[in-house]
Structure 1
């Protein structure tokens, strides 16, 4: 008899069936939207954030409240040098902006808690929230605050992505096939913002691909 369980239709969801079931990401639409976003963010592989920004990208992508023109030109990538990624992370994810938006408290937190995993979990508050959840709810003896590189492991990265998905209540948007809201939740952190997420079209294309996989 043909297996009609949607979780069995992709190697990753089949391998971690219990996890996907625990987080209720187990219907064709929920799986399609989750995998579509994950495919765009990291090609379904745990990754660490690349901050090798060019000077031009720093000046256009980030406001002067995040990085000064002087620092952008000193630290950004140019033809003869790579970007100083550690310093950029500490500047871009630090200061009052980093404290308010990411919970980063001290200089160095920006680099230590830069994006990692399938969905690029970023910032001390997210690493702390994830740690609290896995310890208290899942009963796992892990600490992502102390060991952030654990998110480069496949299982930990998937737990983090599913936790973030649940925290942003993205199942409810997947059930309504509201891909743009999900893209906003993943890329901007707020499904209800009016801002346009980065690479919205590619996210949509990849989600449509996974609708066929999980149908």
Structure 2
């Protein structure tokens, strides 16, 4: 795997600021290496999804309040206030008490740490690592290898929300990574 430069990331994410590119270049490279997102096809698909979910590295916390997730047992939101407390965070928008707890165990070795401090997912390193962890946990590299980009979107989004933007970012990434 070659290391992505900030110049390459800028070509993939044209709306990203210079400071965001500088902040996330290292953590993205580290997270992709740690979680096996190491081929150009995998990297292109991953970066496209991260780019859409984060507004091209502009957001590490969901803009909506999270109240729509209140009481969603499928997300593990069983306590009053869980919807807002565990709204989407990180570069791929980890959402819900159950996902925060699973990420906390996997990334921090502690089931409670992200539950007690959900904003930790907003830091660059954990924002990138949580996205790559989520990717690996849903076996999305196999779909990237097969070129099944819309299936990746389905698994991340539960639908095809933002399909055109995701596909544009994917085209940018494939061009930059020459795949």
Q: Normalised by the shorter chain, which TM-score bucket?
A: 0.7 to 0.9
Name the larger-Rg structure.
1
Mapped to 1, the partners of 2:172 and 2:111 lie a distance apart of 36
Mapped to 2, the partners of 1:23 and 1:93 lie a distance apart of 28
Question: Aligned pair 1:39/2:51, yes or no?
Answer: yes
Alpha carbons of structure 1 residues 147 and 50: separation in structure 2 relative to 1, 3 Å: same
Q: 1:141-156 residue pairs with structure 2 within 5 A? A: 143-156=113-126
Matched residues, number: 161
| SS of residue matched to 2:87 | coil
Query: TM-score of the superposition, structure 2-length normalised?
Result: 0.81
Q: Is the 8 A contact 2:102 2:111 kept in 1?
A: no
User: 1:198 maps to which residue?
Assistant: 161
Query: What's the offset of the Cα at 1:142?
Result: 8.4
User: 2:134 maps to which residue?
Assistant: 164
Q: Is the 8 A contact 2:100 2:118 kept in 1?
A: yes
Question: Aligned pair 1:6/2:19, yes or no?
Answer: no
**Runs of 5+ consecutive residues of structure 1 not aligned to the other structure:** 52-84, 189-195
Alpha carbons of structure 1 residues 28 and 142: separation in structure 2 relative to 1, 3 Å: farther
| SS of residue matched to 2:47 | helix
Alpha carbons of structure 1 residues 48 and 214: separation in structure 2 relative to 1, 3 Å: same
Higher helix share: 2
RMSD: 2.2
Q: Is the 8 A contact 1:174 1:182 kept in 2?
A: yes
Question: Aligned pair 1:123/2:96, yes or no?
Answer: yes
Query: What's the offset of the Cα at 1:144?
Result: 1.1
Q: Give every structure 1 segment of 4 or more consecutive aligned residues whose post-TM-superposition deviation is greater than 6 Å.
A: none
